[in-house]
Structure 1
Amino acid sequence: MSENPKVDAGEERPLYPSLWKGWRRKCPNCGSGPMLKGYLKVRDTCPVCNEELHHQRADDGPAYLTILIVGHIMAPTLLIAFETWRPDPLVLFTIFAVGCVALSLYLLPRLKGALVALQWSKRMHGFGQVKG
């Protein structure tokens, strides 16, 4: 049972379009308003459609997903680069350290946006409550 019996279950919220909007760091409702202010801070409401976004509970999920994805991309690439070209270890470390940091900085806000959009689409954490 829901804590609040006033839950809007009428309109459907499609998952994949909202995930794409979140990946682009846009509002999952309208797709044009910015979801984030700054690098990772989620806005309380969308400045375009006034959709409330303060319900989100992304917490550590985006960081875990970022580590998972970066690790699964960089570890095999590191092994392939080492076995193929045998570069100096300092060169290899420098290149892959910069690559890991750059990929992490790219993925983190996008995964946070997608996770907030997933919560919005599935009406988690109060996203489906009727105002009033």
Structure 2
Amino acid sequence: MNPLAHGLADPARSGIVALAASELAALAAAADAAGLPMLRIDLRGCRDKPALLKRIARALGTPAAQGRNWDALADQLRDLGWLPDSRGHILLFTHAGSLDANDPASFGTLLSLLADAADHWRTRGVPFQAVFTLPAHALRVQGNSSEPR
């Protein structure tokens, strides 16, 4: 197993990760080697909370009956039971810069919810990575147990 794949499969390293777009192919190969599905969430042109929640719901295949608000998203990120069985979860967020620039409060809330979800999965021994193609300094949030790399 390559070193990146080993890190993805280690529940203790669950958290929020910054990765250069040029490294996405290596990430995909590592996820495949670790046997972890990677869900892509394209935020291109996403500028506010309603659009963000809609994009995440579409990418995750969230059950239609579940709400579209922060509390519902927090619950969904700690459940993910409707997804096919896997040994862990990798959520790849691309093009998040527009959201960060236009609605930094929603971007910050998203990062906090993802950090909480990573903590939740870590305590259960399940790898969970939220990967962003943004500079690491854009991902600093209170509660992110893993320092963005």
TM-score where L is the length of structure 1: 0.27
> Which structure features the higher share of strand residues?
2
TM value normalised by structure 2: 0.25
